[in-house]
Structure 1
């Protein structure tokens, strides 16, 4: 298993008509964040349904992110985005597993699918085993680049499966296929029905 990364996910609602200006401001700030000690990478995605933006940044450790949060650069970045955002919600998490499909190159038009799970205390090992079972069955699925099992830090019972697909067409083809429901059935009892939406589909708009 690869070393666990500290992942920060931020959902932001943007003022209508300000999307392009927001993206440009984010790209400018992301270039500076890339030089911050401990930053591993960043992505900007946009939800297909609600149009909200999602920033995902990976850090070598919780301490590295905390140091950046206290830096003048972080405050400057927040100020640069403030004119465009109407609200924001941040979630921090630690990656547990990551699986990459061999020979698959990532593209900026790739799609991320986030499946929300709720795992009661004592069920962690069972869910991890089921995750591996499902991942083994999905191995070789056309268009599937990788997937990860995530656990919330602030709310340890809130888990998620994050999968990356070559594009929206590849995901939809699998989703509408005959094997979709049967393959993912083992994790279905753990789907978080309180999350508002059990899963979300997001297209990558920018990556740094």
Structure 2
């Protein structure tokens, strides 16, 4: 069995973070999340510290989506969030947030380069 070592990351304010927002498309309103995502992307264009985002759709339930935002640091995200709230802006995606599945803010704890795993390979995380 091959052991793969993954190094843990620094968890300081400089740590990259991912923000996850779970979304649910209302019954009979197909396409509204894609449209809202397009409007949200326009508002976020050029935001300092925002490296990018992805809108993922569930393969088992086409009405469930997850927005994954990649920020260069917690500090950058906090600055954007503060300014966003002070201006009173609401995301076009907000009406579709899945309140049963709260999202969250996750720092990048470990990174591993891509590789092909064979059956029986194990992954270990080193502190």
TM-score between both structures, scaled by the size of structure 1: 0.45
Confirm whether residue 203 of structure 1 aligns to residue 110 of structure 2.
Answer: no
Unpaired runs of at least 5, structure 1? 1-26, 31-43, 46-107
Task: Name stretches of at least 5 consecutive residues in structure 2 with no aligned partner.
Answer: 113-127
Within 2, Cα distance between the matches of 1:141 and 1:207? 25
Q: How much has 1:181 moved relative to structure 2? A: 4.9
Q: 1:115 Cα shift?
A: 0.5
**RMSD, matched Cα:** 2.5
Q: Kindly state the Cα deviation for residue 130 of structure 1 after the two structures are TM-superposed.
A: 1.0
The count of corresponding residues between Structure 1 and Structure 2 is: 104
CA–CA separation in structure 1 for the residues paired with 2:37 and 2:22: 13
Give the direction of change, closer, same or farther, for the CA distance of 1:110–1:124 in structure 2 (3 Å limit).
farther
Query: Comparing both structures, which one devotes a greater share of its residues to helix?
Result: 1
Higher strand share: 1
Q: Distance in 2 between matches of 1:178 and 1:162?
A: 18
| 1:131 aligns to 2:5 (yes or no) | no
Alignment of 1:76-95 (within 5 A): none
1:1-208 alignment runs, 5 A limit: 28=4, 109-178=15-84, 181-184=88-91, 186-195=92-101, 197=102, 199-208=103-112
TM value normalised by structure 2: 0.71
